[in-house]
Amino acid sequence: MAEAGPWLTIIGIGEDGPAGLSDASRIALEQAEILVGASRHLALVPDGIASRRIAWPVPFALDPLLAERGRRVVMLASGDPFWFGAGSLVAERLAPGEWIAHPAPSSFALAAARLGWAIERCQCLGLHAAPLDRLRPLLAPDARAILLLRDGTAVGALADYLRVRGFAASTLHVLEALGGPAERVRRFGAADTLPGDIRHPVAVALEVAGTGDTLACVAGIDDGWFAHDGQISKRPMRALALSALAPRPGEHLWDIGAGSGAIGIEWLLAHPHNRATGFERDPVRAERAADNARRLGVDRLAIVTGSAPDCLFDRPPPDAVFIGGGLSAPLLAMLSTAMPAGTRIVAHAVTLESEMLLAEWHDRRGGMLLRIELAEARPLGSRRGWRASYPVVQWSAVL
């Protein structure tokens, strides 16, 4: 058994194998009883080191590693284990004194170094097992991103994705086996026919160019981005709702009566660490909202199919709540008693009955009550006139 102290050493290893390791990493490797890692990483370590080797199972699970607690174990990971690696997953399961880590240069750092890019001005994404739609909010002319992809087939899928969305003029720097003897860097256009010999591990440094649609950076993106059946908070109302909800980094939103999912989606677009749960009683709309979220790169929108307030119980509490549908006295009563102090609430009403309900709650709980009336210029014979929408009453308050 190992002495008291870290039993696990997490080592970031590059394509050059042990030759590129620090002294501390080499010592830990030489003293290891057990090596754990991907088969590709285990193959980089010469025979004679460690008496046993364990390859990660498929699908990935930490159980084989955790079962060796107390032995001298070395876990191998690509480059920096805490940047789209398994390091953070292990750290969450172990006490601080049980592990120590020796990172190596990440694939992002190596890619930036090969191309002379300022890495702080690049978006860095790990897309080994994530959908390419995660790229959607980043696609804008002159944007740069460094992407870790699964294999050559995924590089081809990336080029197809860019072409379909109007960014065929983009440049792909394909970087294979960075840091090792088989390293190769090649440049292609998204419209080019890609070679069939692109090898894993592969990263792509992307320079975006083209005339495709670009997502706006402010609340209230165009309604055309969302598939819907008319059940949607329209762009001006959505902007006002999000302004009142005031999303902050890392916060969680409940979107009750999610409809197209537009409010939750824009909440998530506001910051990459934000979370949102949409509640929608219509299963067709619920699926449509989830699909909208996937297409716009925020597949982390959680959708619950059910009617409020029944579907709200036993859920992780939110920091803010938006009620766009299903407004009722029982719902407001439940929220006022069950939500933590400081929860922000924004509710929209169109009917006279729901307006009266919000007026009553404004009188009881304070906050701000707004009546919003919008009109849009439309053809009127040979001229134009104003066509008014139904007025919306918005109540916003801190519970």
Q: Give dist(CA 19, CA 386) in Å, integer.
A: 73
CATH number at residue 263: 3.40.50.150
pLDDT tens by residue, 282-323: 999 999 999 999 999 999 999 999 999 999 998 999 999 999
Token representation of residue 219: 């609340």
Same domain, 230 and 313: yes
Reading across the β-sheet that carries 73-78, which strands appear in turn? 52-55, 34-37, 73-78, 8-13, 99-102
Asked if residue 62 is part of any domain, the answer here is yes
What's the half-sphere exposure (Cβ side, CA atoms, 13 Å) at 31? 15
Which parts of the chain fold into alpha helices (H)? Answer: 23-31, 39-44, 63-66, 87-93, 107-115, 152-164, 235-245, 262-269, 283-295, 329-338, 352-365
- 8 Å CB contact between 320 and 344: yes
One-letter amino acid for residue 321 of the chain: V
Same domain, 186 and 270: no
- 8 Å CB contact between 325 and 354: no
Pairing of the two strands 99-102 and 123-126? unpaired
Kindly report whether the peptide bond that precedes residue 6 is cis, defined as omega within 30 degrees of 0: no
Which parts of 165-321 fold into alpha helices (H)? Answer: 235-245, 262-269, 283-295
Q: Give dist(CA 28, CA 45) in Å, integer.
A: 13
Q: Give dist(CA 67, CA 91) in Å, integer.
A: 15
Residue that is last in its domain, among 41, 74, 104: 104
Average pLDDT, the chain: 95
Name every residue whose Cβ is closer than 8 Å to that of residue 383 and which is 6 or more positions away in sequence: none
Question: What would the mean pLDDT of 191-211 be, rounded to a whole number?
Answer: 96
Name every residue whose Cβ is closer than 8 Å to that of residue 18 and which is 6 or more positions away in sequence: 26, 29, 44, 45, 46
Q: Give dist(CA 265, CA 322) in Å, integer.
A: 12
Q: What is the DSSP letter of 311?
A: G
pLDDT tens by residue, 7-64: 999 999 999 999 889 999 999 999 999 999 999 999 999 999 999 999 999 999 999 9
Same domain, 97 and 140: no
Same domain, 100 and 112: no
Q: Give dist(CA 85, CA 87) in Å, integer.
A: 6
pLDDT tens by residue, 218-262: 999 999 999 999 888 899 999 999 999 999 999 999 999 999 999
CA 378 to chain centre: 39
pLDDT at 20: 87
pLDDT tens by residue, 102-124: 999 999 999 999 999 999 999 99
pLDDT at 1: 41
Residue that is last in its domain, among 174, 207, 240: 207
Same domain, 271 and 388: yes
- Domains of the chain: total: 3
Range of the domain at 47: 8-104
Token representation of residue 171: 């440049």
The pLDDT > 90 percentage for the chain reads 93
Angle, helices 283-295/262-269, rounded to nearest 10 degrees: 30
Asked if residue 212 is part of any domain, the answer here is no
What's the half-sphere exposure (Cβ side, CA atoms, 13 Å) at 352? 0
Same domain, 258 and 360: yes
Asked if residue 3 is part of any domain, the answer here is no
Token representation of residue 299: 């597949």
Q: Give dist(CA 342, CA 317) in Å, integer.
A: 11
Which of 288, 303, 270 minimizes the C-alpha distance to 230? Answer: 288
Same domain, 241 and 390: yes
Q: What is the number of other CB atoms lying within 10 angstroms of the CB of residue 293?
A: 27
CATH number at residue 178: 3.30.950.10
Residue 3 has pLDDT above 90, yes or no: no
347 three-state secondary structure = strand
Residue 24 CA: distances (Å) to CA of 83, 107, 299 = 20, 21, 40
Q: Give dist(CA 203, CA 155) in Å, integer.
A: 9
pLDDT at 4: 58
Residue 289 CA: distances (Å) to CA of 263, 282, 305 = 10, 11, 11
Asked if residue 217 is part of any domain, the answer here is no
Q: What is the number of other CB atoms lying within 10 angstroms of the CB of residue 205?
A: 22
Question: What would the mean pLDDT of 356-362 be, rounded to a whole number?
Answer: 97
Same domain, 168 and 234: no
Q: pTM for the whole thing?
A: 0.91
Asked if residue 237 is part of any domain, the answer here is yes
Residue identified by tokens 């824009």 is 266
Q: Give dist(CA 25, CA 32) in Å, integer.
A: 11
